[in-house]
Structure 1
Amino acid sequence: MSFSPASCPAHDPASLAAIDPSTCCPTTPVLPATRGVRDLTLAMRHAGIRRVQVAWEMQGCAGSPVVVVQGGISAHRHVASSEHFSEPGWWQAQVGPQRAIDTLRHRVLAIDWLGADGSLDACIDPADQADAIAALLDHLGIARLRAYVGASYGAMVGLHFAARHPARLGRLVAISGAHRSHPQVTALRVIQRRIVALGRSEGGVREALALARALAVIGYRSDREFEQRFAAAPQVEPAQARFVVEDYFDAIGPKFVARFCPTAYLRLSESIDLQDVDPSSISVATDLVAVREDQIVPEADLFTLAEGLRGRSRLHRIESLYGHDAFLKEESRIGAILTEALTRSDAA
Structure 2
Amino acid sequence: MASADWPIDEAPGRDVVALIPEDFRLESGERLAATTLAGRLHGPEHGPLVVVAGGISSGRFATRWWSWAVRSGGPVDLNRVRVLAFDLLPGRDGPGVTITTADQARLLAILLDALDEPAIDAFVGASYGGCIGLAFATTFPERIRSLVAISAPHLAHPAATAWRGVQRRLLAFARDCGRESEGVALARELAMTTYRTPDEFGLRFAPTPPARAGEAYPVCDYLIARGAAYDEVTSAARWIALSDSLDRHAVRPEQIRCPLTVLGFTSDRLVPIDDLRELAALAPAGRLIEAPSIFGHDAFLKEREVVGRALHDALLPLNALPREIAA
Distance 2:91 2:154 in 1: 22
Distance 2:106 2:39 in 1: 14
Where does residue 69 of structure 2 map in the other structure?
A: 94
Judge conservation of contact 1:148–1:171 (CA < 8 Å) in 2. Answer: yes
Alignment of 1:21-100 (within 5 A): 33-41=13-21, 42-48=24-30, 50=32, 52-80=35-63, 89-100=64-75
TM-score, normalising length: structure 1: 0.85
Aligned position for 2:303: 330
From 264, 268, 282, the counterpart of 2:256: 282
Map Cα deviations across residues 306-339 of structure 1 (whole Å, 9 max, x no partner).
12112x1210001111111111111121111000
Q: Which amino acid aligns with 1:68?
A: V
CA drift of 1:135 comes to 1.2
Q: Please say if residues 37 and 90 of structure 2, whose CA atoms lie closer than 8 Å, have aligned partners that are also in contact.
A: no
Distance 1:166 1:232, change over 3 A: same
Aligned mates of 1:332, 1:47 — CA distance in 2: 43
Computed over aligned residues only, the root mean square deviation of the Cα atoms, in angstroms, reads 1.7
Contact residue 69 and residue 149 of structure 1 kept, 8 A: yes
- The equivalent residue for 1:314 is 287
Is the 2:36–2:90 Cα contact (8 Å) retained in structure 1? no
Query: C-alpha displacement at 1:32, in angstroms?
Result: 5.3
Percent of paired sites with the same residue: 38
Structure 1 residues 240, 259: CA separation in 2 closer, same or farther (over 3 Å shift)? closer
Residues 108-257 of structure 1: pairs in structure 2 closer than 5 A: 108-115=83-90, 117-237=92-212, 240=214, 242-257=216-231
| Alignment-mate amino acid for residue 149 of structure 1 | V
2:316 corresponds to: 343
One-letter identity of the residue aligned with 1:78: F
Measured in 2, the distance between the counterparts of 1:201 and 1:34 equals 38
- Aligned letter for 2:246? I
**Which secondary structure state, in structure 1, belongs to the residue aligned with residue 290 of structure 2?**
strand
**Amino acid in structure 1 at the alignment position of 2:293:** S
Report the residue type matching 1:126 in the other structure.
T
Q: With structure 2 as the length reference, what TM-score do the two structures score?
A: 0.90
Separation in 1 of the partners of 2:315 and 2:299?
Answer: 19
* Structure 2 Cα separation of the partners of residues 251 and 133 of structure 1: 34
User: Alignment partner of 2:251: what SS?
Assistant: coil
Closer, same or farther in 2 for the Cα pair 1:120/1:290, shift >3 Å? same
Q: CA deviation at 1:209?
A: 1.3
Letter in 2 for 1:36: V
Aligned to 2:3: none
Say whether the 8 Å CA contact 1:171–1:345 is kept in structure 2. Answer: no
- For 1:48 and 1:116, the matched residues in 2 are separated by 15
Contact 1:115/1:268, CA 8 A, preserved across alignment: no
2:276 maps to which residue?
302
The structure richer in strand per residue is 1
Deviations 1:282-318 (A, max 9, x none): 11110000100001111011011112112x1210001
Question: Which blocks of at least 5 consecutive residues in structure 1 are unaligned?
Answer: 1-30, 81-88
**Distance in 2 (alpha carbons) for counterparts of 1:32 and 1:206:** 33
Inter-partner Cα distance in structure 2 for 1:54 and 1:104: 26
What one-letter code is carried by the residue in structure 2 that aligns with 1:308?
L
What is the CA–CA distance in structure 1 between the aligned matches of 2:258 and 2:48, rounded to whole Å? 17
Aligned-residue offset at 1:34: 1.2
**Which residue is equivalent to 1:14?**
none
Contact 1:186 / 1:273 at 8 angstroms: preserved in 2?
A: yes
Decide whether aligned partners of structure 1 residues 186 and 142 sit closer, same or farther in structure 2, where only a CA change above 3 A counts. same
Letter in structure 2 aligned against 1:39: L
Per the TM alignment, residue 52 of structure 1 is displaced from its structure 2 partner at its CA by 3.9
Range that drifts further, 123-132 or 34-43: 34-43
Q: Does the CA contact (< 8 Å) of 2:88 and 2:104 recur in 1?
A: yes
